Chains A and B, each alone.
Chain A
Amino acid sequence: MALLARVAERLYWGARYCERAEDTARVIRAFNDQFVDFPVSAGMRWEPLAAITGTPAQVPADATDLGEMAVLHSLIADQTNPSSIASSVEAARENLRTTREVVPREAWAAVNQLARFARAESSHAVGRPGRDWFLGRIIEISRRLDGVLESTMSRDAAYRMWRIGRLVERADMTTRVLGVRAASILDTEGDRHRLEELQWMGVLRSVSALQMYQRAVRGPIEAERVLRFLMLHEPFPRSVRSCVSDLRNEIGHLSARAELIGLLDALDSALSECDPDVMDGAAIDAAMDTLQLALGDLHRGIINEFAS
């Protein structure tokens, strides 16, 4: 089955935006959970949340903290922020609206529902009462969409492009969570340190990894193990290693793409250089930057290869 280059690009972007909305919802949910657990004295702030999702924190000159409502408005409902859940969902819908001929009808209905839901509810989800319910629904509908594709779509080039978009975005989000959160925990000194375990639980929850971590590691939550798990634990589908390995598989199903295989090799070797046992905050930060650059190269490679 032939796949038009233009359609391939739209599917890829549709999947990225969909994954971005879903992952942003997971991150906010976990952060929210942790925030309410922490004593006020711990001085937890909302800005790191904005940093994870790549939203430029527009801190007013006279403010010390951006504030909960401002950050959440920006991440959830702000249509001028291209990374907000509202914008991502709209972009996912528009990309699928214009590729409906290649995806199952039910999948279009799911993304249409996602957009209609976000339009109606996102502004009510900024405040605490409706927030968790809203984020949960976003994740649920996004998962349903992939469930439809997984169970009713042929494994053709269109399906591969969708998967590739999902995986690139997912890998990117895991590196962002690690880059911002892990680095800041490792650099924190003094009495906040006693909350370290809770902090790491928050990191794991941000990528829905806590339970799988505990099953795999069977020990206390420790920095090195968390880092290793999220970067290198291949069986866990949101680890960077797993995303890269799945990408290799998906790209392998499309006809020979030597350049992309080279970019995946580069990602793998960057991963292999990460040794959580000897990394401090600065090293983590730098390693995640390297991975994000390599993911950026892969993204450009995909666009060049398939979309032009």
Chain B
Amino acid sequence: MDELLGPDGQPRPAAAELLRMLSSLKPDALDERQRAAEAEILTMGITFTVYSDGEDIDRAWPFDVVPRIIDGAEWDSVSAGLAQRLRALNLFIDDIYNDRRIIADGVFPEDLLNDSVNLRDQCRDMRPPNGVWAHISGSDLVRHADGDLYVLEDNLRVPSGVSYMLENRAVAKRTFPGLFERQSIRPVDSYTDELNRLLRAVAPDGVTDPQIAVLTPGVFNSAYFEHSFLAQRMGAELVEGIDLTVGDDGRVYMRTIDGLERVDVIYRRVDDLFLDPEVFRPDSLIGVPGLMRAWREGHVTIVNAPGAGVADDKVVYAWVPDIIRYYLAEEPIIANVPTWRCMYDDERRHVLDNLRELVVKPANESGGYGILIGDRATDEQLAASREAIEADPRNWVAQPILDLSTVPTVIDGTLAPRHVDLRPFILTRGIGPGESYVTPGGLTRVALPEGSLVVNSSQGGGSKDTWIVDLPEGAR
């Protein structure tokens, strides 16, 4: 199905204004706006970095001017569902590292934890401020042919993309100023303020005016632009591991031109395993020796907390509906995509018997690598996937091939449907109701080749602005 057009080819109500405007444009005008937007992105230096040994690894951010539009009434429910989901996931993480009630109560099988690559023993018995572990998350949503939005996966470690959501809006406002004036499109710009508020709220006890730092792996990281953008928008320091040191007093300091200054909250964009060479990978050059000690002693808050990734394991994903019911005694507001776990013999058999009809995913990879889409794979790819599943069943899950929805996209100067997903960002500063913030919309990613379902920008995907449109009474 298409996000903007109904089955009859007529505009959906929330997209009517946009489509009316697009159809009134002269033949070349759409392409002109597309090129103007791209020129602006180049001028503003909005880039992402691609790992490559060639030159020019800092690439312009790919943006399509035609937005994806969601009706405000639908979004209210999605937004409530995401906040609910993250409250439950945070309770789950806290429980796993402490009492493990959910296991004692027989709701979650303990053996799943035994070989989870994201479970960190170093986090046992920790109680981070406000009980929050996954403060910032990006959950990927897709719309299936049945018209419903499903959560495809949760990213609880270092989700990226929010800066592009904000930049996309800035460009879109200049591309279609009239549309923003004429209708009610929810603004997204307060995200960095909300993030700042969150980071301040989780400062260590007794710190009233915390020094906040964004920890980046460095200038060659694919998301460096975003790290820099967020630091800039919050007035926080952007630090690399070499800028930080843990003092004899166990506190974290940064090296400034006037000597060492205390750091209270670290929004880290470095993976757990690289955070502290004393505890995790000893060869990490981007980490800070002693950082985990400082965190455990409560001298510094690390956001997201180390070990939070235990809940974004694609195998744990399959239990999220149960997790929501268990901790909140509520029914999940947004559905999971049905997921088969290859660790169980019967589910694995189903997967191996139906490989051609399934999407097979590694449980703990990001960036779209290692994904097999059954109906598009060659016989060799299917055989390789089968072998990989049998060799390490726990590392694989499978889901039905979703018929991702499409949005009209500018291709060679004219509009053609392309598949999209959506990554909203959820901020959780406490586990009570009303302590969450969900971005209105999020980052819409679009697979640019015809028929493709791979939306990752590292693999040729593009992006769109996402409009949550509130229609006047009676217009729906």
Q: Chain A residues in contact with chain B, CB under 8 A?
A: 2-8, 97-98, 100-102, 105, 108-109, 112-113, 116, 157, 161, 254-255, 305-306
Contacts and interface: CB of A to CB of B under 8 A. Distances in A.
Please classify the interface of chain B as helix (H, G, I), strand (E, B), loop, or mixed, using the class held by over half of its residues.
mixed
Q: Which bucket holds chain B's interface residue count?
A: 20 to 34
Nearest to A257: B257
A6 B43 contact: no
B239 A108 contact: no
Contact of A101 (B43, B58, B231, B256): B231
A306 B257 CA distance: 5
A6 B257 CA distance: 9
B219 A98 contact: yes
Given A97-B45, A97-B219, A6 B261 contact: no
Residue of B239, B243, B254, B255 most packed against chain A (CB within 10 A): B255
A2 B258 contact: yes
Given A4-B256, A98-B228, 10 more contacts: A6-B240, A6-B243, A8-B257, A100-B228, A100-B232, A101-B231, A101-B232, A105-B44, A108-B45, A109-B45
A116 B41 CA distance: 12
Nearest to B218: A98
Please classify the interface of chain A as helix (H, G, I), strand (E, B), loop, or mixed, using the class held by over half of its residues.
helix
Contacts of A116: 42-43
Given A108-B45, A116-B42, A3 B219 contact: no
15 contacts: A2-B211, A4-B254, A6-B243, A7-B238, A8-B257, A98-B228, A100-B229, A100-B232, A101-B232, A101-B237, A101-B238, A105-B232, A113-B43, A116-B43, A306-B257
Nearest to A94: B219
Contacts of B219: 97-98
A4 B258 CA distance: 9
Residue of B231, B236, B237, B240 most packed against chain A (CB within 10 A): B237
Nearest to A157: B257
A5 B244 CA distance: 11
Contacts of A113: 43
A36 B280 CA distance: 66
B117 interface: no
A3 to B, nearest CB: 5
Nearest to B56: A119
Interface of B: 42-45, 58, 211, 214, 219, 228-229, 231-232, 236-240, 242-243, 254-258, 261
A161 B257 CA distance: 10
A109 B237 contact: no
B232 A4 contact: no
B173 to A, nearest CB: 16
A125 to B, nearest CB: 21
A223 to B, nearest CB: 42
A116 B239 CA distance: 27
A254 B257 contact: yes
A303 B473 CA distance: 64
A148 to B, nearest CB: 14
A4 B45 contact: no
Contacts of B228: 97-98, 100-101
Contacts of B238: 7, 101
Given A112-B44, A113-B43, A2 B232 contact: no
Contact of A2 (B45, B214, B254): B254
A4 B231 contact: no
Nearest to A308: B255
Contact of A5 (B58, B214, B256): B256
A109 B44 CA distance: 5
A169 to B, nearest CB: 19
A305 B231 CA distance: 25
B196 to A, nearest CB: 14
Contacts of B242: 6
Contacts of A100: 228-229, 232
B444 to A, nearest CB: 24
Nearest to B261: A2
Contacts of B254: 2, 4
B265 to A, nearest CB: 14
Contacts of A2: 211, 237, 254, 256, 258, 261
Contacts of A306: 257
Residue of B228, B242, B256 most packed against chain A (CB within 10 A): B256
A3 B260 CA distance: 10
Contacts of B255: 4-6
Those 6 A-B pairs whose CB atoms lie nearest each other, nearest first: A101-B231, A112-B45, A101-B232, A2-B256, A101-B238, A306-B257
